């Protein structure tokens, strides 16, 4: 019977750790328990290098090693002949293993003891299934491929970013039984990710931000690699808990512009997948669970596939030409005229970071804040309610980046923040490339410079 | 008058750990220094810690048994799954024999102990039984006196030589 590494991926994830034998230069054997056997690809595994121990000394003089792993369901044994190739101490593989090890260490009561110095990459030369009396294998689930297919079919019918994100979250919940999820988009200028959609939380957290490199989400984005943790980790590096970073330029505002991160306070499983298209990072698809070991390698495969479809679809939307014509006079009349008796909304904009406050409550900042201000200013000065994507792209006050401006994501963020904030301001999308601002009360605009 | 034998390498706490019946992994190597290894299906230790016996399945351990016979080199790790307490012993003087009917009680005790140990980390008895299944006539007993012993519990003392005055593993 020939066994491929892909056939025994479940053995690399079991709670019973793998063991490895190496030999010293005189042949003296040594056995080591492994914290992690990480699947790299069809022909390679990586083991965590944590200590300068006998195993370390041995593989540097004799790269030949033997690995014994066990199926966590059937108890079938597999023995692997492996050969040490190299150690990586930075990059995608290293960061994925480091995050995973942090969860393993916390679970094993070894936080502070287990520390990843490097990812030792081994070539798998042979896999030997051992005779034994294994338990019967459970029937193949096969649910992941069907779930990916369902998601793919549904995504292919979506015509807007709003629909794409809702469909992705619905697919995770309906087809993969993953109710806690969020999508974050990348803002290249600030090197931060902002939440544009979420499911399964008391508050949506739309608009909340995570810095590149912060937490499982930030590491997945920075390294452009999936990061999967199977246990709760106390390591602060992998926490997304809100850290109220003070912005030096507007210290008085910094706290007020935080939107709380919506996620679970103590996730026991986390999986973050980068959303990529044409080699560029668009954002991160993130799922989590209160259960240990909730996400398997099959879940990871499914999420990577869905994130790939989502990335391509988002990119296609963003790069579609702005087809809408300039709005005519007929489209100008606001459907809901401001009530005469209503007290005006006081809107303040802080020019330093384009943050906008409504009656002293924080609404939005950054590019989306600048867009809102342009719409409101034109509304107040010219009575306009209809706008186009094209004019936003051309407006120098909005300062959209030239390439991959993510305009659709920023408009969706603005739309959702307005809807969550209150009943008086709405942004609608009457057609491709078109926007409609709904203002239910008179507004008073004030800009604070500096 | 001959010199008294040296004190045993293993302290009572290590003997107790091994005697209780914990996870046991055995390794050797061939003449080209390629390592071989397998999980033992049983282990025993004498109360003074000088005589260790591990039981290997022939059908699972052909290379390993051949390597032990040809090189005489042996390393065995004992580890308690729930606590990660780990000891490694090495020997160059192992003796091999077929398992006998009078080994059966020790093997049964070991399976029972391991079934309990694995239940503490979340595995059902059926899993432990499958993992440690092996007919007596398929088993080989490998007995040896430890020449070297190391504490390998993860942490600052990992690799510390026991009963001696130096060296790491």
Rounded to whole angstroms, how far apart are CA atoms B55 and B103?
Answer: 10
Query: What does the pLDDT read at residue A149?
Result: 96
Mark out chain A residues that contact chain B at CB-CB < 8 A.
Answer: 15-16, 19-23, 27-33, 51, 53-54, 62, 64-66, 68, 70, 74-75, 77, 79, 81, 108, 110, 113-114, 130-135
Q: Which residue of B has its CA nearest to A133?
A: B130
Which of B31, B37, B157, B161 to probe the A interface (max A CBs under 10 A)? B37
Question: Is the torsion defined by CA of A106, A111, A117, A122 positive or negative?
Answer: negative
Show Cβ contacts of residue A248 under 8 Å, excluding neighbours closer than 6 positions: none
Q: What does pTM read for this prediction?
A: 0.85
CB < 8 Å & 24+ apart, contacts of A173-176: A173/A199, A173/A200, A174/A150, A175/A143, A175/A146, A175/A147, A175/A150, A175/A151, A176/A143, A176/A144, A176/A147, A176/A299, A176/A302
Residues listed for chain A: 450
Minimal CA separation from A200 to chain B, in Å: 29
Could you list the pLDDT tens digit for every one of the 450 residues in chain A? 589 999 999 899 867 779 999 999 999 999 999 888 999 999 999 999 988 789 999 999 999 999 999 998 899 999 999 999 999 999 999 999 998 888 777 777 777 777 889 999 999 999 999 999 999 988 766 689 999 999 999 999 999 999 999 999 999 999 999 999 999 999 988 899 999 999 999 999 999 999 998 889 999 999 999 999 988 877 777 777 654 443 444 444 444 678 889 999 889 899 999 999 999 999 999 999 999 889 999 999 999 999 999 999 999 888 777 665 555 444 444 555 555 567 899 999 999 889 999 998 999 999 999 999 999 999 999 999 999 999 998 888 887 776 567 899 999 999 999 999 889 999 999 988 899 999 999 999 999 986
Minimal CA separation from B2 to chain A, in Å: 30
DSSP 8-class letter at B22: -
ipTM of the complex as predicted: 0.93
The reply to whether B108 touches chain A by the CB within 8 Å rule is no
Cβ separation B131–A70 shorter than 8 A: yes
Q: For chain A, which domains are there?
A: 5-129 (2.30.110.10), 143-319 (3.30.450.40), 329-448 (1.10.10)
CATH architecture of B12-151: Roll (2.30)
Minimal CA separation from A134 to chain B, in Å: 5
Give B84's contacts in chain A (Cβ within 8 Å). 33, 108, 110
Structure tokens at A273: 């997948």
How many C-beta atoms surround the C-beta of residue A357 within 10 A?
A: 21
Rounded to whole angstroms, how far apart are CA atoms A372 and A256?
Answer: 18
Nearest by CB to residue A23, choosing from B25, B29, B128, is B29
Cβ separation A29–B74 shorter than 8 A: yes
Nearest by CB to residue A30, choosing from B84, B86, B169, is B169
| Ranges of each domain in chain B | 12-151
The full DSSP string for A243-289 is --PPPSS-HHHHTTTPPPP-S-SS-SEEEEEEEEETTEEEEEEEEEE
User: To which H or E segment does residue B144 belong?
Assistant: strand B139-144
Rounded to whole angstroms, how far apart are CA atoms A193 and A221?
Answer: 9
Cβ separation A133–B122 shorter than 8 A: no
Contact at 8 Å (CB) between B54 and B61? no
Rounded to whole angstroms, how far apart are CA atoms A168 and A200?
Answer: 13
Give A19's contacts in chain B (Cβ within 8 Å). 25, 37, 39, 77
Give B60's contacts in chain A (Cβ within 8 Å). 77, 130-132
How many Å separate Cα B167 from the centre of its chain? 20
């Amino acid at each position: 019977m020939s066994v491929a590494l892909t056939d025994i991926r479940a053995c690399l994830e079991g709670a019973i750790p793998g063991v490895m034998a190496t030999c010293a230069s005189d042949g003296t054997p040594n056995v080591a328990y492994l914290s992690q056997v990480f699947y790299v690809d069809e022909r390679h595994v990586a083991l965590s290098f944590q200590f300068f121990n006998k195993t370390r000394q041995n593989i540097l003089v004799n790269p030949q090693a033997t690995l014994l792993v066990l199926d966590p369901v059937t108890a079938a044994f597999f023995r692997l002949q492996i050969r040490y190739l190299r150690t990586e101490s930075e990059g995608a593989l290293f960061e994925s293993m480091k995050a995973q090890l942090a969860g393993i260490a916390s679970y094993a009561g070894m936080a502070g003891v287990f520390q990843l110095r490097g990812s030792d990459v081994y070539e798998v030369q042979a896999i030997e299934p051992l005779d034994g009396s294994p338990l019967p294998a459970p029937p193949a689930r096969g649910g992941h491929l069907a779930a990916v297919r369902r998601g793919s079919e549904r995504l292919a019918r979506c015509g807007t970013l709003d629909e794409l994100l809702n469909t992705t979250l619905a697919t995770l919940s309906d087809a993969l039984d993953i109710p806690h999820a969020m999508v974050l988009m990348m803002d290249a200028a600030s090197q931060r990710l902002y939440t544009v959609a979420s499911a399964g939380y008391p508050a949506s957290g739309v608009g909340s931000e995570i810095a590149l490199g912060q937490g499982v989400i930030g590491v997945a984005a920075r390294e452009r690699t999936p990061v999967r943790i199977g246990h709760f980790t106390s390591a602060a590096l992998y926490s997304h808990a809100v850290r109220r970073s003070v912005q030096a330029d507007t210290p008085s505002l910094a706290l007020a512009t935080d939107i709380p991160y919506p996620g679970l306070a103590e996730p026991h499983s986390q999986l973050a997948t980068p959303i990529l298209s044409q080699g560029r990072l668009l954002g991160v698809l993130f799922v989590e669970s209160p259960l240990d070991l909730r996400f398997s390698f099959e879940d990871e495969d499914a999420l990577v596939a869905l994130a790939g479809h989502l990335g391509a679809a988002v990119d296609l939307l963003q790069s579609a030409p702005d087809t809408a014509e300039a709005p005519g006079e007929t489209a100008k009349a606001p459907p809901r005229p401001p009530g005469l008796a209503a007290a005006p909304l006081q809107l303040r904009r802080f020019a330093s970071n384009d943050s906008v406050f409504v009656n002293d409550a924080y609404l939005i900042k950054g590019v989306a804040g600048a867009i809102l201000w342009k719409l409101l200013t034109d509304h107040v000065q010219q009575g306009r309610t209809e706008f186009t994507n094209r004019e936003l792209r051309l407006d120098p006050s909005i300062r959209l980046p030239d390439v991959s401006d993510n305009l659709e994501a920023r408009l969706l963020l603005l739309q959702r923040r307005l809807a969550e904030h209150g009943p008086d301001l709405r942004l609608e999308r009457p057609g491709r490339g078109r926007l409609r601002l709904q203002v239910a009360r008179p507004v008073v605009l004030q800009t604070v410079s500096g | 008058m001959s010199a008294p034998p040296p004190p045993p390498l293993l302290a009572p706490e290590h003997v107790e750990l091994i005697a209780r019946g914990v996870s046991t992994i055995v390794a050797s190597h061939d003449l080209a220094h390629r390592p071989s290894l397998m999980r033992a299906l049983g282990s025993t230790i004498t109360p003074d810690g000088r005589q260790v016996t591990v039981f290997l399945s022939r059908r699972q351990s052909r290379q390993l048994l051949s390597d032990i016979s040809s090189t005489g080199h042996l390393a065995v790790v004992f580890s308690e799954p729930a606590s990660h307490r780990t000891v490694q012993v090495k020997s160059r003087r192992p003796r091999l024999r077929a398992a006998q009917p009078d080994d059966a009680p020790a093997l049964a005790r070991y399976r029972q102990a391991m079934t309990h140990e694995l239940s503490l980390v979340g595995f059902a008895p059926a899993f432990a039984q499958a993992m440690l299944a092996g007919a007596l006539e398929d088993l080989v007993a490998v007995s040896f006196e430890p020449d070297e012993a190391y504490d390998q519990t993860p942490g600052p003392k990992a690799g510390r030589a026991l009963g001696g005055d130096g060296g790491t593993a």
